[in-house]
Chains A and B, each alone.
Chain A
Amino acid sequence: MFYRENGQFKASYVEDLRIFKVTQDRVAVLALVAIAVLLVPMLASDYLLRAVLIPFLILSLAAIGLNILVGYCGQISLGTGAFMAVGAYAAWNIGVRIPEVPLLVQILLGGLCATAVGVVFGIPSLRLRGLYLAVSTLAAQFFLDWAFLRIPALTNHSASGSVSVGTLSFFGLPLESAWQKYLFCLGFVVVFAVIAKNLVRTTTGRQWMAIRDMDIAAGVIGIRPAYAKLTAFAVSSFIVGVSGALWGFMHLGAWEPLAFSLDRSFQLLFMIIIGGLGSIVGSFFGAAFIVLLPIVLTNVPALFGLPLSVDTAVHLEHIIFGSLIVIFLIAEPHGLARLWSIGREKLRLWPFPY
C-alpha cells in the first residue's frame, strides 16, 4: 500500500541508474542516515555508542570490504584480520613517526598499506581457487600475526608489543567523547558504503562478478582474470585496512596482535555469510547480527531478572549463536539480505497479494 512504485517512471538514464530506484527507498535511506547523524548522537547513551554502535559500524565497514572480495569476486579469504592489522599498525606507525600527519590521512595511508599487502597475498589467487586459496590467505594471517609479534620496529620497540594511540583530533576538532568518535566512524562507513555500492555496478564490479560466476567463461568473453582478481584484492584490502585502523584508533585505543587474530577473520567471514554474500546491505545485517546478538543474549536474562551466572550465560550464548547460524544457513543460505529482499517484494504487494 505504502510501498508502491506505480507511477514512478524513469525518464532519463540518470534516473535509471539510481541506487535506490523507488522513491520510498530513497526517503527511507535518507531518513535513516539523518537519524544516525542527528538523533543517535544526541539520544544514545555512552554505553550504546561506545560498546554497540561504534563496533557495529567499524565491523560493517570491514564486512563490506570482505564482501567485495568473497561475495562479489568469489575469492575466499581467511586473512581479513591480518589486513585489518596492517591498516591499524601502518596508521599507528605513521602517526608515531610523523606526528604532523592528520588522522584522516593516517587512516587512509593505513588503508593503502593494507592494499599493497593485500595485492601481494592476492597473487596466489591467480593460480589457486576455492579452498586452496583460503589456505594461502591463511598464510597471510599467520605471517602477519607473526610479523607484528616479532618485529620490534613495527611496534616502535614497545616493550610489551602492545601499542596505544594518543589523543586524537580531526582537523583541530577533538575526537574524545563517544558521539565524536561515532560520527567520525559513521562518516567513513557512509562514504565507503556509497563508494562500494557504486563500484560493484561499474565495469570493474561486473568483471568481479563474472569471475565469481565462472572464471573460464569470463576469460573467454575478454575479462582479464589477473586484473579482476587483483583489483578485488586491492579494493577489499583497502576498505578492510581502513576499518582495521578505525578499530584500533576509535574502538580499542590500545591493542595487541590478538585483536586481529584468526578469530577476527572467521568472525568477518561469518558476518558476510549470514548477512548475505554479494550484498552491501547484507554486510550491515551480518555485522549487526554478530555484534548485537552476544550483547543481547548477555543482557536479556538480566532484564528478566533471571539469576543466571555469567559463565552459564556465555555458554548459552555459544549454543544459541551456533544453532542460529545453522538454522539460518539451512533456511536461508543467501543470508539476511535475501530475507530483506523477500520482505520488500511482499511489501510491494501488501495488502493485496495476487
Chain B
Amino acid sequence: MNTKFAHGIRGLAVAGTMAFALTAPSIAAAQSEQFIPLLVYRTGSFAPLGIPWANGKLDYLKMINERDGGINGVKMVYEECETAYNTDRGVECYERLKTKGGGGSLFDTQSTGITYAVMDKAPLDKVPVMTMGYGRSDSADGSVFPWSFPLLGTYWTASDIIVQDIAKKMGGVDKLKGKKLALVYHDSPYGKEPITALQALARKHGFELMLLPVIAPGVEQKSTWLQIRQQRPEYVILWAAGIMTPTSIREAQATGFPREKIYGIWWAGSESDVRDLGATAKGYNAIAIQGSADYGKAHDDILKYVYDKNQGSADSRAEVGTVAHTRGMMIQMLTVEAIRTAQEKYGKGKAVTPEQVRWGLENLDISQARLDELGFGNLMRPVKTSCADHMGSSWARIITWNGDKYETTSDWYEADMSVIDPLVKAGADKYAKEKGITPRDCSKE
C-alpha cells in the first residue's frame, strides 16, 4: 500500500476527529430538544373527535414550552402526521417519525388498528407506545409487553366500571342476575375489544349479554335497534365511534329506548357526538377517562399561556375544556411526566432517548399532590406504573349529557381487578406463546 496515501488517510481521520470534537458541544446543544411525534386524524370520518383531541395534545406541549420553558429547560419539538385513522398511513407515519430528532419519544397512535400494527414493531425499534384508554387491553401486562402502555385504563376496565354503574342504578350487583344487557358495537377490533371482559362479567354476575355488531361506519342501525326493541335489554352499552354514536342515539329515540339507559365508551362520549342532537340525547351516559369532563387549573394555564398569546391550536377558545380536548391534554401531561421521570434518572436538563422514556413510563408515580400542582387535581386520580402494571390506574367517572353539556354524575369508580387481571394474564400469555416471547421477571426488577 502506498504509505503516503495511508498517511493522508490517517491525517484526514485525525482532522475529522478534531473537527468532531470541536463541533460536539454544539451538537449537544442542538440535542437539548425533545422530539415528540404526534399521530393525528384531522381528516376522515372520525375527524370530529380527532381534531379536538389533536389540538389538546398540541396545546399542552405549547403551554409547557411557554410556561416552564420545556422540561427542566429541554424544549419540546413536535411534528404532526396525519393518519386519517388508516393503518397504512399510520405505519408510514411511525416509520417516518421514529428516528426523527434523536428518536420519537413515544407514539400515541390514536387508533386500535395502528396500535396493533405498531406494537409489534416498537420492541425492535425500541420505541414506547402509549395508548391512553384504548389499544390492546392485555398489553397492561408489562412483563409480556414491555413497550406498550395503556395508561389510565383499557376497554376492559371501562367495561367493568360501566357494569358497576349499571348495577348501582339497579340497586346492587345481585340485581343484575338474570337481567339482559346489550352491547352495540362498531364491528372492528375497536368494538370487539370489550367483549372478552363483558362476557367474563356476565358469567360472574349472572346477567345475559346480547352482542349486536354494527357494520362500519355505522350509519345503518335499523335492524340493530329493532332487535333491542324486541328483546328489551335493561341497558345498552354503546361501543361506537364517529358517525355511529349520533346514529345510535337517534335510533334509540326512534324506537323509544330511553337514553338514560345507554352507556357509551369514552370515544363515544365527546361533545361532538351529541351536540347536534341537543335535547334528543339528554340523559345519555358515557364513561369518562378519569375525570376528563371536568374543568381544572390546567385549562386556565392553557388559556393563559397559549390562547391569550394567539398560539392556540383550536379555532376557538371554547374548545378548551371539552372532553376530547382534555383527553389530549391528559395524554400529553403523562408524556411530559414520563420524560421528566426519565430525566430524573438519566440526567436532568438533557434530552432523553425513547428507551429512557420507556423507563420513565414504567416508573411513573404521579401523586395527588403532584396532580394538584400540575392543575389536574380534580381531573385525575394518582397514577403509579410498574414493570407488571403498565396501566397505572383505572379510575373513571360517568358523565351524562344534560342537553347542553356533559355533567359528571357519578363518584369515582375503580375497576374490579379480580375480574380483569386473569383476563389480562390469559391474553398476555397467549400473545407471548404466539410470538415466542419470554416474559420478563418483574419481581427481579
Interface residues of A (CB under 8 A from B): 46-47, 50-51, 55, 96, 149-150, 159-162, 164-167, 176, 251-259, 295, 298, 309-311, 313-315
Contact = CB atoms under 8 A, between A and B. Distances in A.
Main SS at interface, chain A: helix
Given A51-B96, A256-B87, A309-B80, 11 more contacts: A50-B91, A51-B95, A161-B189, A167-B436, A252-B88, A252-B117, A256-B188, A259-B113, A311-B47, A314-B42, A315-B43
Contacts of A254: 116-117, 119-120
B40 A310 contact: yes
Given A160-B193, A259-B87, A315-B43, A47 B435 contact: no
Contacts of A252: 87-88, 91, 117
Contact of A259 (B82, B88, B96, B216): B88
A352 to B, nearest CB: 46
B151 to A, nearest CB: 19
The listed residue with most A CB atoms (<10 A of its CB), out of B82, B96, B189, B435, is B189
A162 B87 CA distance: 12
A165 to B, nearest CB: 8
B411 interface: no
Contacts, number: 98
8 contacts: A50-B91, A50-B95, A55-B92, A159-B192, A159-B193, A258-B113, A309-B42, A315-B43
B82 A310 contact: yes
The 3 closest A-B pairs by CB, nearest first: A311-B42, A160-B189, A51-B95
Contact of B43 (A96, A166, A311): A311
Interface of B: 40, 42-43, 47, 51, 80-82, 84, 87-88, 91-92, 95-96, 99, 112-113, 116-117, 119-121, 124, 136, 187-190, 192-193, 195-196, 213, 216, 427, 434-436
A320 to B, nearest CB: 15
A161 B188 contact: yes
Contacts of A251: 91
B120 to A, nearest CB: 4
Nearest to A247: B88
Nearest to A177: B124
Nearest to B434: A166
Contact of A253 (B40, B120, B196, B434): B120
A101 to B, nearest CB: 15
Contacts of B434: 96, 164, 166
A354 B300 CA distance: 77
Nearest to B39: A310
B99 A46 contact: yes
A166 B435 CA distance: 4
Contacts of B136: 160
B95 A314 contact: no
Nearest to B313: A309
B430 to A, nearest CB: 9
B240 to A, nearest CB: 16
A162 B213 contact: no
Contacts of B84: 314
A314 B96 CA distance: 16
Contact of A47 (B88, B99, B119, B196): B99
Nearest to A253: B120
Contact of A164 (B91, B95, B120, B196): B120
The listed residue with most A CB atoms (<10 A of its CB), out of B47, B88, B192, B436, is B88
Given A310-B80, A315-B43, A162 B113 contact: yes
Contacts of A255: 87, 113, 116-117
Given A55-B88, A314-B43, A162 B116 contact: yes
B192 A161 contact: yes
A131 to B, nearest CB: 24
B42 A310 contact: yes
A162 to B, nearest CB: 4
A311 B85 CA distance: 13
A149 B87 contact: no
A296 to B, nearest CB: 12
A163 to B, nearest CB: 9
Contacts of B80: 309-310
B91 A51 contact: yes
A84 to B, nearest CB: 13
B405 to A, nearest CB: 26
The listed residue with most B CB atoms (<10 A of its CB), out of A165, A176, A256, A315, is A256
